Structure 1
């Protein structure tokens, strides 16, 4: 049974916080599954990117109160499922915690292992595209959890 899901990107201020909020929505907001996020090169302590928050709010969600966290081996070990935005993230996760090989996947696994490009530093339409991909991909994951 999956009780803890960790979602990973680079800075933990754009993609993974958006995905964390979206997956919580799909999981029904209960306490039975913990959904967290972290970054491989996190901007530790920073809030969610303002454009990411704007897109979330435009979709009736919010990551207000989010503070970026650096991924650790302990976080990976405690997770039952680790979802990454890009293939290179999976390699980095495995180098931190080789034991995570059987539980680390792309968020786009159910869409032919599609990736979610990094919107950081880009325009609102790029953030909206990233959100749309994340939302669609996590909806597919919900069917398998």
Structure 2
């Protein structure tokens, strides 16, 4: 079982969007028994909160559910529990490394580093542009799923 954790600042916009999109892609490819996905925050601001209404609305447009999703904070046990820990921006990656005490571990990386963009996913909480975030998240999830699928096939 491959386990993926998406992390952003509050766990109400970007990381739950990535979790929901990735889960949808995994289900459509029939890989739910091989890959599990979760999301978390580096802050404690929104623990127990549902995804942001803008995230929910954007995902609903594409028929993707956020049912049962609640914000949670990253914990030190996440480092052992997950194979990939993915920060949605550079600041998130730094905070993840600091919080987990793993400054150079390769399983922690920035989400869009796998794509040609190699940039941060903008936070729609501040930009208000949930479509831009969705487009980048979809592309990133597709690339990540391809990588994981190849990893599964090679093992």
Q: Is the 8 A contact 1:13 1:47 kept in 2?
A: yes
TM-superposed deviation, 1:32 = 2.1
Q: Is the 8 A contact 1:48 1:64 kept in 2?
A: no
TM-score, scaled relative to structure 1: 0.90
Q: Distance in 2 between matches of 1:36 and 1:25?
A: 12
TM-superposed deviation, 1:64 = 2.2
> Once superposed, which parts of structure 1, at least 4 consecutive aligned residues long, lie more than 6 Å away?
none
What is the aligned partner in structure 1 of residue 33 from structure 2? Answer: 31
Per-residue Cα deviation, 1:37-76 (whole angstroms, up to 9, x for no partner):
0001141011111110000000110212211001111112
Q: Distance in 2 between matches of 1:74 and 1:18?
A: 23
What is the aligned partner in structure 1 of residue 21 from structure 2? Answer: 22
SS in 1 for 2:69: coil
For residue 62 of structure 2, the aligned residue among 47, 59, 64 is 59
> How many residues end up aligned between the 2 structures?
142
Q: Distance in 2 between matches of 1:108 and 1:122?
A: 18
Please tell me the root mean square deviation across aligned C-alpha atoms, in Å: 1.6
TM-superposed deviation, 1:118 = 0.7
| Structure 1 unpaired stretches of 5+ | none
SS in 1 for 2:122: coil
Farther-moved stretch of structure 1 (108-117 vs 6-15):
108-117
| Structure 2 unpaired stretches of 5+ | 149-155
1:84 aligns with 2:83: no
Per-residue Cα deviation, 1:102-137 (whole angstroms, up to 9, x for no partner):
2011110122422101111543xx011101110011
What is the aligned partner in structure 2 of residue 71 from structure 1? Answer: 74
Q: Is the 8 A contact 1:6 1:76 kept in 2?
A: no
Per-residue Cα deviation, 1:9-36 (whole angstroms, up to 9, x for no partner):
0110110001001111222361321100
SS in 1 for 2:121: coil
